[in-house]
Structure 1
Amino acid sequence: MYSNTISKKLFNTLLIALCAVQVKAQTATGSAAKQKYLSAPLISSIYTADPSAHVFNGKIYIYPSHDINAGIPENDNGDHFAMRDYHILSMDNINSKVTDHGVALDIKDIPWAGRQLWAPDAAYKNGTYYLYFPVKDKQDVFRIGVATSKNPAGPFKAQPNPMAGSFSIDPAVFTDTDGSTYMYFGGIWGGQLQRWATGKYEVNGSKTDLMHDDEPALSCKVVKLKNNMLEFDGKVRNVLIVDSAGKPLKTKDHNRRFFEGSWMHKYHGKYYFTYSTGDTHFLAYAIGNNPWGPFTYKGIFMKPVQGWTTHHSIIEFKGKWYIFYHDTQLSGKTHLRNIKVTTLTHNPDGSIKLIDPLAPGK
């Protein structure tokens, strides 16, 4: 009798639990089905992320990461982002068909590369197109390489060695109106920037940041490029982001401090340094009077996307401004992403209009 009562109670408990799980699953499914997005994925035949967009020869060329399902467990070091090649995409207009030009560079064709081809960027000068890319070397240290082509869609041929003096991830190359070219780079956590705080790579260094909450946050780096676009021209400097009082943002200020994914654009004579806050999932911006900085923090301009974080680029095309970014609409998985584009608006006072990527849209 006692045993039978226990069995009935256990059965009822399990039944209630099962119903609760089913309701929760149905609710989650229904919620996902109802999710609205500001923009639609630009391409669905492959997974793409970290879109660096440029206007070359009157067309938009996009240089993204190519996400794959490598079967590696997810971790804070980013090992599951195990990309092995780059595909270059192009568009005649913002709303036109996207062309996938196929593999432009494969990791097996980079002599010094070990693993993980992360977010690239591109530039043009003197009749040559340059593809800049971060990849771990044979010692598992991120370096930045460069490959060249006479065609913006590739294929690209990698230089035999990484750029001397390069480290970390996320190269973003900006050519100013006077023809000078600068590279911004760096990312903490899996991007290893914190391991270079002493000037040399610390194998057993922190996996996140320097964990000094009340000290200035780790900085993105900036360096001028030589005219050959293959070498650094001078010393690598820190990109200083300050608050309205001119004080550097602190490590503990996760909603505002730099994490990764920098970009630079110029608008009405001002330099807009934009970046991801990483673990708080915002895109933020700071404004300066020259490419070196300092840059005064102005706010966030994109709310969190679906997925862990986003990575962006900003271009002007036919008199309008656009932001390219990514989320996980197609897969729902943080390492299998899809790129998107939407309008970027500069307000009359120079601020950037806030974008909500999950607002009702396409």
Structure 2
Amino acid sequence: YAPDITIGPDGKYYLYYVLDHLPIVSVAVCDTPAGEFEFHGYVHYADGTKLGEKEGDEPSFDPGVITEGDKTYLYLGFCGPGDTSRTGSFVSVLDKDMVTIIENPKLVAPGCMNKEFAPDFNEHPFFEAPSIRKRNGKYYFVYSSAAMHELCYAMSDSPVGPFTYGGVIVSNCDLGIDTYKDGKTPVAPGANNHGSIIEIGDEWYIFYHRHTNNTWYCRQGCAEKISFNEDGTINQVEITSCGLNGGPLVGKGKYPAYIACHVYKKDMGVYIGQSEVPFIKQDGADGDKRLSFVHNVTENSGIGFKYFEFNGVKKVRVFARGYGMGFIEIRTSMDGEVLGKAQVHHTNHWQVYDIDAAIPDGVSPLYITYSGGGSIEIQEFELV
């Protein structure tokens, strides 16, 4: 499950991983991060007992690691709702051999069944996906909360805590963002989330995932630029289509529909698996290298893209198919004015719909919505 990697005191790369149905942590080593890795050993106590097999240990899950000097800090944990045998995420300190525990596991973030440990976590208790980062002398413990769709963080002056809950960094359905909607309204089907923060150049980003094929088990990697306040706290970011682009997308040319950050239907619920909600899928089996598209676009649903730098766009060319009896519409906000529309045709072949739509110049979203009967699929669009 969810391996993590660190550079040891010897300069080699150490990969920590947990195999399905096993409570222990395995370690592999390589001279380069790209492999090939060789088995190095199991994380164990000084007496040789493997972590996860000692009485009182909780099963290992989702390792996260950071190395400072001769010490490596290993974070583990999974806390499902209702499971009183799991109490939270623990950190163990490892010796320079990268496998021997020199400081026993210590609880750093409580799960939903252990609310007495640190009440400031109670609204966003630990669920899974621990990850650790350091910035400006502060340690950031990033994790997926019991709500599952969000990545949260806690801060400390020490890698072993105590950690103070900081807030939500990102939600893969944009819950908590209220700048363009009610904060309790999802704009995409939410589901579990996993990721962390990383510095690229002079900027910091949160990497996370969202879901495709209307299931918890098909995922699409995403990234958003984040910002820090003077005290080191992180502001929650809205989900966008920009990724690592560094700013708004160019408002000309073709874009695939699968970069939509909003895939929604009016009055939809929070979590994935709703039969009436659009979702990203592809022809063929999952994993096939075929172009993805948005499926099941019906009345009062649509897809949204944030953000574009528009300049002189007069037409949006939409590539769609399906058995619809309605109109494809172009907007610059979810409930905004319809700037142009085109009637769809019954067909199982991709068709091109040229929609006259004078989009105001400047930075704004783009929404492709649908009104009418039946359902359609949207593959891509072109800004002309």
TM-score by length of 1: 0.53
Q: CA deviation at 1:241?
A: 6.0
Q: Tell me what 2:74 maps to.
A: 183
2:230 partner amino acid: P
Q: Tell me what 1:128 maps to.
A: 12
Task: Pick closer, same or farther for the CA change 1:256–1:173 going to 2, 3 Å.
Answer: same
Equivalent of 1:308, from 191, 194, 199? 191
Three-state SS of the structure 2 residue aligned to 1:233 is strand
Task: Pick closer, same or farther for the CA change 1:249–1:280 going to 2, 3 Å.
Answer: farther
Q: How does 1:246-265 map to 2 (within 5 A)?
A: 248-249=117-118, 253=122, 255-265=123-133
Q: Would the aligned equivalents of 1:260 and 1:275 in 2 still touch at CA under 8 Å?
A: yes
Q: CA deviation at 1:240?
A: 4.6
Q: How does 1:321-336 map to 2 (within 5 A)?
A: 321-329=204-212, 331-336=213-218
Q: CA deviation at 1:222?
A: 0.2
Query: How far apart, CA to CA, are the structure 1 residues paired with 2:190 and 2:142?
Result: 19
Q: Tell me what 2:51 maps to.
A: 165
Q: Tell me what 2:2 maps to.
A: 119
Q: How does 1:223-234 map to 2 (within 5 A)?
A: 223-234=92-103
Q: Tell me what 1:144 maps to.
A: 25
CA RMSD of the aligned region, Å? 2.9
2:275 matches 1:275: no
2:218 partner amino acid: L
Q: Tell me what 1:156 maps to.
A: 37
Identity of aligned residues (%): 31
2:22 partner amino acid: V
Task: Pick closer, same or farther for the CA change 1:231–1:307 going to 2, 3 Å.
Answer: farther
Task: Pick closer, same or farther for the CA change 1:312–1:252 going to 2, 3 Å.
Answer: closer
Rg (Cα) greater in structure:
2
Q: Would the aligned equivalents of 1:307 and 1:334 in 2 still touch at CA under 8 Å?
A: no
After superposition, give the CA deviation of every residue in 1:265-321 in whole Å (9 maximum; x if it has no partner). 222222221211134522212211211111111221212344421001211122221
Query: How far apart, CA to CA, are the structure 2 residues paired with 1:318 and 1:252?
Result: 32
Q: CA deviation at 1:180?
A: 3.1
Task: Pick closer, same or farther for the CA change 1:336–1:142 going to 2, 3 Å.
Answer: farther
Q: Would the aligned equivalents of 1:240 and 1:293 in 2 still touch at CA under 8 Å?
A: no
2:211 matches 1:339: no
- Give the gaps of 5 or more residues in structure 2: 45-49, 53-58, 174-188, 240-260, 263-304, 308-384
How many equivalent pairs are there? 214
Task: Pick closer, same or farther for the CA change 1:353–1:251 going to 2, 3 Å.
Answer: closer
Query: How far apart, CA to CA, are the structure 2 residues paired with 1:361 and 1:335?
Result: 25
TM-score by length of 2: 0.50
Q: Would the aligned equivalents of 1:170 and 1:186 in 2 still touch at CA under 8 Å?
A: yes
Q: CA deviation at 1:128?
A: 1.5
Q: How does 1:1-362 map to 2 (within 5 A)?
A: 118-125=1-8, 126-136=10-20, 140-159=21-40, 161=42, 163=44, 164-166=50-52, 167-176=59-68, 178=69, 180-189=71-80, 208-210=82-84, 218-240=87-109, 248-249=117-118, 253=122, 255-305=123-173, 306-329=189-212, 331-357=213-239, 358=261, 360-361=305-306
- Give the gaps of 5 or more residues in structure 1: 1-117, 190-206, 212-216
1:264 partner amino acid: I
Q: Would the aligned equivalents of 2:42 and 2:99 in 1 still touch at CA under 8 Å?
A: no
2:75 partner amino acid: Y
Q: Would the aligned equivalents of 1:250 and 1:257 in 2 still touch at CA under 8 Å?
A: no
Query: How far apart, CA to CA, are the structure 1 residues paired with 2:136 and 2:32?
Result: 31
The structure in which a higher percent of residues are helix is 1
Q: Would the aligned equivalents of 1:241 and 1:295 in 2 still touch at CA under 8 Å?
A: no
Q: Would the aligned equivalents of 1:169 and 1:185 in 2 still touch at CA under 8 Å?
A: yes
The structure in which a higher percent of residues are strand is 2
Task: Pick closer, same or farther for the CA change 1:127–1:120 going to 2, 3 Å.
Answer: same
Query: How far apart, CA to CA, are the structure 2 residues paired with 1:247 and 1:302?
Result: 26
Task: Pick closer, same or farther for the CA change 1:147–1:308 going to 2, 3 Å.
Answer: same
Q: Would the aligned equivalents of 2:204 and 2:225 in 1 still touch at CA under 8 Å?
A: yes
Query: How far apart, CA to CA, are the structure 1 residues paired with 2:41 and 2:170?
Result: 38
Query: How far apart, CA to CA, are the structure 2 residues paired with 1:159 and 1:219?
Result: 27
Q: CA deviation at 1:127?
A: 3.0
Q: Would the aligned equivalents of 2:7 and 2:67 in 1 still touch at CA under 8 Å?
A: no
1:313 partner amino acid: S
Which structure is richer in relative contact order (CA contacts within 8 A, separation 6 or more)? Answer: 1
1:174 partner amino acid: I
